[in-house]
Amino acid sequence: MRALPADALAALRAAGVELVTDGALLERFGHDETEGFRFPPAAAALPASTAQIQATLRVASRHRIPVAPRGAGTGLSGGALPVAGGLVLGLERMNRIRGLDRRNATIDVEAGVTVAAVDAAANEAGLFYPPDPASRESCQIGGNIAEDSAGPRSCKYGTTRRFVLGLEAVLADGSLLRTGGANRKDVAGYNLTQLLVGSEGTLAVVAAATLRLLPVPRERLTLVLPFPALESAASAVEEIFATGNEPAACEILDHAALAAVGGTLELPPALAGAGAALFLELDGEDPDALLRGAERIAAVAERCDGGEVLVAQDPADQRRLWRIRRGVAEAVKHRSVYKEADTVVPRARLADLVRAAHDVAAAHGLEAACYGHAADGNLHVNLLRGALPPDEWEARRDAAELDLFERVVALGGSVTGEHGVGWTQRRFLPLVASGASLRVQRALKAAFDPAGILNPGKVFTDEADG
């Protein structure tokens, strides 16, 4: 790993930026939650203010040092990996809640605040922050903005971008960019706020954000619906929405995912032998309306061969059931070496996607465990290595993944629903982005970061895209 110039390190220290340069202490900045990748940086800078982020980027820009912005490192597409070496810019010390405005129902937070902490602060004011990725206890709001992250409640409330009203961001040359603000409407100029959402740390570093909050729904109801097979669960999803229901969350787990989480948590008997399950949340003001909704959904389940529906009204019972859904990702990943494909299709094609996932896995002699956000047509297809030798696994995995994404795109879908393109999905981007689209995206990158120091190696492959 090429060391950083001594005068760059001295300039960072002079600006008061905390630096990590010791090899052992740097280890944690060289990986995220994406498979087994390891890319140790030359150093990590941990600024504690927007001014220190600016100072860091000014120094990096002057010395042409690659900079990988990093939140909590829970990313699943390798976005925070310092693949070009250089500097990791960690936001963990930017963890202050600057203020909550009850009258406007907004909150101002620094990028390193965890999503759970944003929601907890909102709850104290009778409000809530809906985006709820399973990693919400650890992942940071800056990381969620960079990935436009989602969670079960995106079904009703939408993804992170719906809640970002304004940003304080720093460009690659160190200049400060303020976008949007607390206004609910603002069409002055291009919408740079929304351009930065989902830009994966390649256009600017998010230092702070103004987020929209909602009143906490008074009532919630959790339903768990077991099914004999994944296809019947996917058909039920289509019918639930086609019959006018609007759950807050609608999640799907296949047999292999249930078996994996069953190895770490106790499952209710109705789920133990199920071929698949749906986890739903209904929310609103009127408890009777929620119960009527639950009855309608139970009737759909029955028509789709579903088993006995579990209904939880008590918050402790609800939490117990949702722990099963939230524990799936970790449980699957501990079962075997895996490759996760973050597939997404229009919701009405979910049953086709489910079939395609299992067909592709079988055609390549691999096991698959699938789960995800059914309401968004977003299925995480985990291809499992099992007992295969490494070479054979890698060859089958790569061929199966390409096959799968080609099938997904043929269904009108895309190559990542919420985990981002990052480092691992770059080869698939041209399957969904035309030459014209890639040209515009590269031009935007060049406008924001002409020297190409910000998160190099991400989103685009090195080849010209035509």
Site for ligand FAD, rule CB under 6 A? 32-33, 68-76, 79-80, 91, 111, 133-135, 139-140, 142-144, 146-147, 149-151, 200-201, 205-206, 329-330, 418-419, 422, 455
Return the number of the residue (122 or 197) whose C-beta is nearest ligand FAD: 197
Closest by CA to 412, choosing from 439, 437, 431, is: 431
Scanning 125-159, the segments in alpha helix (DSSP H) are 141-147, 154-157
Shorter beta-carbon distance to ligand FAD: residue 179 or 235: 179
Q: How far is the CB of 425 from ligand FAD (least distance, A)?
A: 12
| Amino acid in position 216 | V
Report, in Å, the least distance between residue 287 CB and ligand FAD. Answer: 28
Q: How far is the CB of 229 from ligand FAD (least distance, A)?
A: 24
Which residue has tokens 């691999």?
366
| Residue with smaller CB distance to ligand FAD, 70 or 212 | 70
Task: Report which DSSP code applies to 337.
Answer: -
What residues does 107 pair with on adjacent strands?
A: 100, 211
Nearest distance, CB of residue 279 and ligand FAD, angstroms: 13
Label residues 444-458 b or e (16+ Cβ within 10 Å = b): ebeebbeeebbbbbb
Least distance to ligand FAD, CB of residue 13, Å? 22
b/e sequence 142-162, b meaning 16+ C-beta within 10 Å: bbbbbbbbbbbbbbbbebbbe
Shortest distance in whole angstroms from residue 4 CB to ligand FAD: 19
Closer to ligand FAD at the Cβ: 232 or 343?
343
What is the full DSSP assignment across 20-31? E--HHHHGGGS-
Q: How far is CA 403 from CA 203, 306, 364, in A?
A: 31, 31, 10
User: 56 or 135: whose CB is closer to ligand FAD?
Assistant: 135
Q: How far is the CB of 144 from ligand FAD (least distance, A)?
A: 4
- Give residue 408's identity as a one-letter amino acid code: V
Q: Which is nearer to ligand FAD, 149 or 343 (CB)?
A: 149
Residue 300 is encoded by which pair of tokens? 């759909």
**149 or 235: whose CB is closer to ligand FAD?**
149
